[in-house]
Structure formats: structure tokens, C-alpha cells
Structure 1
Amino acid sequence: MLLLGQGTAAARPAKCFATDDGHFDCDFTATDAAGSFTIVGPEATYILVIDEPGKAFGFVNLGNRNIPLAGTFLREQDDPACWANAETSTRICAW
């Protein structure tokens, strides 16, 4: 279903945030025309796959497999670089 490394663009440096890791430097890669993306940080790789505009599902990769993140991520209105999951209080951002 998800293949890392088959993105539509080259990775670019970014500033990121994930609830579990806080703020960190990352590499951001857009992975499709819908806006899905991968961010690679020092502790984990986060993958958000757009399901429909403003809604996504996520995965975290801690080394050898993608682990699904529970619930739906919604794009934040106040900061469109961020996606939040109300069910788990998880937030993922890339600027």
C-alpha cells in the first residue's frame, strides 16, 4: 500500500513537529498530487496519506515497518501545515 522512496518530489529540509517527538529538523517529501507526505526525523518517519481533502490517515515507521496510527487526521484551519487527530490528541506538522 505505501512505498517509501517512491515520492513525486525530492526530499527537502523542513521544521517538523509530532506529539511524541516535539519539534525537530526533518526531511519532507510530497508523495502524491493529493498532498500526502512523508517526514523523516531523527527518531521516526511519519507518513500521512490524504483520504479526501482535509482528511488523512497516518503511519509511523520506527525502522522496519509502517505502524498505522489510530483515527483520522484533519487539516488544521489555523495552521494548514498541521494535521490533528482528535481521537488520540496526536498532531503532526511540517513547515
Structure 2
Amino acid sequence: METIIHLIALVAALASVVVALGHTGYLALLNSAATKRAGGGPVAEYVRSRWPVAGGTTGASLLALLLTAGPAFLDVVAILLAAGSGAVATKALQSTRTKYRSGN
């Protein structure tokens, strides 16, 4: 049973890290494009306001990954932390993509 909990915690933490790094990377790409354009000031300002969320979710997901190295109780804490940070990072990424979606 402890092995199953550990495996679930590890998968949840890795998924959370991927989502959080995806949000951070998307903000970095937006910031890079905004600084290269003449009218990119509002986008760069928005990105600066979103860095704390990206940093917080990335840090929390990395902490969850670190906690998976401990006993079963810490695996449960890691699952909760990974689920929370992953959900926040996903919501933040979706809202940013919706705001700055281009194309059709």
C-alpha cells in the first residue's frame, strides 16, 4: 500500500512540475515577445504581475516532488500540495492563454 501511495505522489508531483514550468515558460515567451515589440508595454506589465503566481506554483510543485522522498505521510502531503499547485498553475496558464490568444 505504501508503494502505491508513493507512486501516486510521484506521478502527481511530476505532473505538477510540468504544468508549473509550462506556465513559467509561457510567461517567459510572452515577456520576450513583448519586450521586442514597440507596443508591448501592457503585455510586459501583465507578465510582471503574473511572475509571483508562476514562481509560487513552481516552488510548491518542486517542494511536493522533494517530499515524495519521505515516508508515506509526506507522500500524502506531497499529493495534496501537487494537486493544489498544479490546479492553480493550470488555471493561471489557461487565463493567460485566453487573454493573449491570437489567430482564429
Question: Please, what TM-score do these two structures have when normalized by structure 2?
Answer: 0.21
Q: Which has the higher helix share?
A: 2
Question: Please, what TM-score do these two structures have when normalized by structure 1?
Answer: 0.22
Q: Greater Rg, structure 1 or structure 2?
A: 2
Q: Which has the higher strand share?
A: 1
